Amino acid sequence: GAGVSQSPRYKVAKRGQDVALRCDPISGHVSLFWYQQALGQGPEFLTYFQNEAQLDKSGLPSDRFFAERPEGSVSTLKIQRTQQEDSAVYLCASSLAFGTQYFGPGTRLTVL
């Protein structure tokens, strides 16, 4: 069966550019999470959706980060005016309510 998919898998941006990262969750999963993983570290929570409602965005590092899930399915994480410190792997996960979270392959963002 289809798992969580993310696109693009790799993104190179020049400092100051805007980027948009896409996540397609497992069909029927109401919960969707975004995590940021720096090299050699564990994933860190960014934001959480239940259907289309963004219930927690406390992990977003700055107001340059914005996430949406307008129809309760696909989600987009947008980063405006990218900085070098934004370079990381961005992981998306989905679950049935509070159950096990299944992760996508991630998008590796490199900001030059």
Partner 1 sequence: EDQVTQSPEALRLQEGESSSLNCSYTVSGLRGLFWYRQDPGKGPEFLFTLYSAGEEKEKERLKATLTKKESFLHITAPKPEDSATYLCAVQAGGGSNYKLTFGKGTLLTVNP
Q: What is the CA radius of gyration of the chain?
A: 13
In the complex with partner 1, the residue whose CB is nearer, 18 or 56, is 56
Give me the least distance between CB of 110 and partner 1, in Å please: 14
Among 60, 82, 106, 109, binds partner 1 (CB under 8 A): 106
Using CA atoms, how far residue 15 sits from 19, 37, 45, 46, 112, in Å, is 11, 19, 23, 21, 6
Binding flag, residue 2, partner 1 (CB under 8 A): no
Q: Which is nearer to partner 1, 12 or 55 (by Cβ)?
A: 55
| Whether the Cβ atoms of residue 10 and residue 79 lie closer than 8 Å to each other | no
- Cβ 54 vs Cβ 48: under 8 Å: yes
Report the length, in residues, of the chain. Answer: 112
Applying CB under 8 A, the site for partner 1 has a residue count of 27
Nearer to partner 1, 96 or 112 (CB): 96
CA 43, 105, 32, 19 torsion: positive or negative?
A: positive
Q: Pick from 21, 24, 25, 43: which binds partner 1 (CB under 8 A)?
A: 43
- Give me the residues that bind partner 1 (CB under 8 A), please: 4, 31, 33, 35, 40-45, 48, 50, 55-56, 59, 91, 93, 95, 97-98, 100-106
